[in-house]
Amino acid sequence: MSKRWKYKAQGDADKVERLAGLLCMPKENPTEKDKRCYRIVANLLVQRGIDTFEKAKDFFRPDLNKLHNPFLMENMEHAVERIMVAVYAKEKIMVYGDYDVDGTSAVALVYSYLSTFYDNLTYYVPDRYEEGYGVSFKGVDTAENDGVSLIICLDCGIKATEEIAYAGEKGIDFIVCDHHLPGKELPKAYAILDPKLEGCKYPYDELSGCGIGFKLIQALQQKRGKPADDLKQYLDLVAISIAADVVPLTGENRILAFHGLRVLNTKPRVGLEAILACANIIHEDAALPYYFNKVLTIQDLSFLIGPRINAAGRMDSASKAVALLKTKNKEKAERIAEEINESNEDRKIKDQVATKEAQEEISNHKLDQQKCIVLCNENWHQGVIGIVASRIAEEHYKPTIIFTKKNGILTGSARSVKNFDIYSAIEKCRHLLTHFGGHKFAAGLSLKEDNFAEFCRLFEKEVEDNMSQDGILPEIDIDMEILLGDASEKLLRILWQFEPFGPENNEPVFSSSEIYDANGARKVGRNHLKFSAIPINENILPISCIGFSLAQHFETLKSGKKIDLCYTIEENRYQGRRELQLNVKDITESKDNNY
């Protein structure tokens, strides 16, 4: 599929030149190539709003001391006081959280912290299928039966007005710790911690649900007069939540993720150690687990740990994920990790089957010619329909909704493409729905079977009326064009310091023009491309390139035509050797193909 190359706005030239000079200051007599390198780095920083040396220093050296005072968050003092009253009065406290990675990691974090000084605790994670998202009446009933008088609710609750009112009738107080947008009516909780609350003056509002939980324990630690350093051990959980919930890698999230990754790479909790062992990824140079040989990144958390933790709630019980993340017992961790890993393998099989059947249906009915794709099959497991929707949306680049059926009710997961607000389109169909929720790029919904045909018609019309021309083709955001010779090991070493990568701090993508293949392109794997790039007008050695799912450009490379590349810069490690490599994202023929 063709892609549209979209160049980001370049940094203000004066700011870039000034910052490049400051970054270059420690080096005497820099070469022209050195100067270009620092200009590239400075431009990337200015694009990210980092235009002074002090800001650059903070960016490259994330400091836990720069975290905001948790008591700046609205209602924090109120929440901490209520928890301490419960502790002194020996009330039973329930830590309640959603069933996804963010929710279960938040429950494990707050429960683990409270258990260091208080033992009248329990935790609860709702069943994805019986109770659905967020606070449930069943959860409140369970709390009442267990003698709970205070519920600390994490990663959900901001819209649970009826459920929290129901708890209030039973004499149960709620502290809501959420990061989602509040509705018009707030629940009558004892305290609500959400930086997105209107009037909340907390300086950063993009924390994950687990991040809000961390601010709560940070406040409790301050109130108890205990050392802030003792909280570092919980940052691995915060890092996992940041990766899984795809929140911006800016501000406090960047600091928390940076130091959370340090914990994961040096002394992971036994539950995460067991999960990594289950991933069975062995370093190519030694028969040792992956995390002893390679620095784990946010992307590794997204693809290695996140899906396994999520599989507990998708295929079995999310409470297992909490049990794994909070345990200190190695044997127990290994046993639960194996069970969760089996759930993940089951999830993979069901996911593959459903994806294959969905692709066949799309092909048989030529659904890829429509503006959107909506499919339903009662045999598809509810735990995988979101994953299937993501795959279909990515491959066909169309807003996609995948439904399954149970007891006459269709439950669906929706995934969108970059320039289309799928939540708004679904909201226009709300009169046909029994439930819906989500955001611009992902949503969940349910409806009666009788309304399905009308929903499909109306949703298709909404997509057709509101999908812009820019939304038809997938985009590649490119930071800047550079000379191919500037894609150097020195630049790569500096780019490593831009990590952790994620939303609003994505891995830099570059482009270079008028390139040709030096050593003979070849197809590798099922649909990948390996070649060596060399520019027409630069005197440099060829640079190794890998292009995943780009084998369709093989003939263009073999023909000797000049090409333009967009790519990221990485290090390829193989059999003890290391070399600079370009990870090519797309290839186009150069406009002028005359040598």
What's the pLDDT score for residue 366?
Answer: 85
d(C-alpha 94, C-alpha 74), whole Å: 22
- Tell me if 466 sits within 8 A of 425, measured CB to CB: yes
Q: How far apart are CA 95 and CA 442, in angstroms?
A: 27
Identify the band that residue 595 occupies on the pLDDT scale cut at 50, 70 and 90: low
CATH number of 479-589: 2.40.50.460
Over 90: is that where the pLDDT of 271 sits?
yes
**What mean pLDDT comes out for the span 127-145?**
91
What is residue 96's predicted lDDT score, i.e. its pLDDT?
97
Can you tell me the distance from the alpha carbon of 589 to that of 353, in angstroms, rounded to the nearest whole number?
Answer: 37
Fold classification of 365-471 (topology level): Diaminopimelate Epimerase; Chain A, domain 1 (3.10.310)
pLDDT at 289 over 70: no
Q: What band does 229 get if pLDDT is binned at 50, 70 and 90?
A: very high
* pLDDT confidence of residue 30: 81
pLDDT digits (tens, 9 = 90+) for 173-190: 999 999 988 988 999 999
pTM of the model: 0.91
Contact assessment for residue 548 and residue 528, using Cβ atoms and an 8 Å cutoff: yes
Per-residue pLDDT of 457-485, as tens digits, reads 999 999 999 987 666 788 899 999 999 99
pLDDT digits (tens, 9 = 90+) for 397-415: 999 999 999 888 999 999 9
Q: What's the whole-number mean pLDDT along residues 374-381?
A: 94
- Res 518 pLDDT > 70: yes
Model confidence at 26, pLDDT cuts 50, 70, 90, reads low
**Is the model's pLDDT at 451 over the cut of 50?**
yes
DSSP output for 431-447: GG-SEEEE-SSEEEEEE
- What DSSP letter does each residue of 561-575 carry, written as one string? --EEEEEEEEEEEET
Structure confidence at residue 282 (pLDDT): 41
Task: Please state, in angstroms and rounded to a whole number, the distance separating the CA atoms of residues 415 and 372.
Answer: 10
Is the confidence at residue 285, as pLDDT, over 60? Answer: no
pLDDT at 283: 38
High-pLDDT (> 70) share of the chain, %: 96
Asked if the model's pLDDT at residue 523 lies above 50, the reply is yes
- Between CA 438 and CA 440 the distance in angstroms is 7
Residue 288 pLDDT:
43
Give the C-alpha separation, 112 to 475, whole Å: 43
Q: Which fold has domain 70-233?
A: inorganic pyrophosphatase (n-terminal core) (3.90.1640)
Residue percentage of the chain with pLDDT more than 90: 75
Question: Amino acid identity of 6?
Answer: K
Q: What is residue 30's three-state secondary structure?
A: coil
pLDDT given for residue 280 in this prediction? 66
Categorise residue 560: left if φ over 0, alpha if ψ from -120 to 50, beta otherwise.
left
Please, which pLDDT band fits residue 291 given cuts at 50, 70 and 90? Answer: very low
What residues does each domain of the chain span? 70-233, 365-471, 479-589
In the predicted structure, residue 432 carries a pLDDT above the cut 60: yes
Which of 57, 41, 50 lies closest to 510, judged by CA? 41
Instruction: Give residue 438's region: left, alpha or beta (phi > 0; psi -120 to 50).
Output: left
pLDDT at res. 278: 86
> What would the two tokens of residue 567 be?
């790519």
Q: What's the mean pLDDT when you consider all of the chain?
A: 91
Structure tokens at 31: 């070469």
The predicted pLDDT at position 3 comes to: 87
Amino acid at 544: S
Q: How far apart are CA 155 and CA 134, in angstroms?
A: 8
Confidence at 220, pLDDT banded by 50, 70, 90:
very high
* Dist CA 374 CA 382 (whole Å): 15
pLDDT score of 459: 96
Beta carbons of 581 and 544 less than 8 angstroms apart: yes
